[in-house]
Amino acid sequence: MQNDFLFSESLVDNIAYGCLDASEEEIMEAARKANIHAFVQELPQAYDTEIGERGVKLSEGQAQRISIARAILRDPPILILDEATSSVDSETEILIQEALERLKEEKTCIVIAHRLSTILRADRILFIENGQVIEEGNHQQLLERGGRYAHFYNLQFNNLD
């Protein structure tokens, strides 16, 4: 789900893309789960607000959360998110992380990320270098091992000894 395309249409059409039979309640529930519903409610025409060239311009984070809502609405058994927080600010990253926390209770979520803050609470982390899995475990296990993941974590969070 990297750089998912949004159309110059209404928010409801963008979220429902690929699920044209979705009800209004299903669309709003997907938006709630993606932490975008409150933002949408503040817009002049809420879900009927046009976005894109002819309408409201969205931030990267807002567009990303609309894309996540679209993916949630499709209700796949496995949800793959590729760099879902790569170009968002810290506040938006937290909103996306909260959405992911709720989602992983319902389905398998595979999150591809370079930003470790995105995956700190993952049940299982695969640290991949040059196409090879070199470490596996949860965040705490990987830190305790002191390997490449721990080194990468220390670099990102400035915890150098």
Question: In this structure, is residue 156 part of a structural domain?
Answer: no
Q: At what angle do helices 90-106 and 24-33 cross, to 10 degrees?
A: 120
HSE-CB of 93 using CA atoms within 13 angstroms: 14
In a domain, 135, yes or no: no
| Predicted pLDDT at 1 | 46
Query: Given this model, what pLDDT does residue 97 score?
Result: 79
Residues of the chain with pLDDT under 70: 1-4, 54-55, 84-85, 87, 159-161
- Which of 160, 68, 58 lies closest to 118 in space, CA to CA? 68
Give the per-residue pLDDT at 89. 76
Query: How far is CA 131 from each of CA 37, 66, 83, 120, rounded to the nearest angstrom?
Result: 38, 30, 17, 21
Query: What total of structural domains would you count in the chain?
Result: 1
- Please report the pLDDT score of residue 13 as a whole number: 93
Instruction: Specify the pLDDT at position 57.
Output: 83
Whether the Cβ atoms of residue 26 and residue 57 lie closer than 8 Å to each other: no
Q: Would you say residue 95 lies in a domain?
A: yes
What's residue 17's pLDDT? 92
CATH code of the domain containing 18: 3.40.50.300
C-alpha 11/C-alpha 56 separation (Å) is 10
Write phi, then psi, for 25 (nearest 5 degrees): -65, -40
Domain annotation covers residue 138: no
C-alpha to C-alpha distance for 18 and 28, rounded to whole angstroms = 16
Q: Say what the pLDDT of residue 54 is.
A: 67
Q: Is residue 1 part of a domain?
A: no
* Cβ atoms within 10 Å, residue 31: 26
Q: Is residue 130 part of a domain?
A: no
The boundaries of the domain holding residue 35 are 11-123
Name the amino acid, one letter, at 112: I
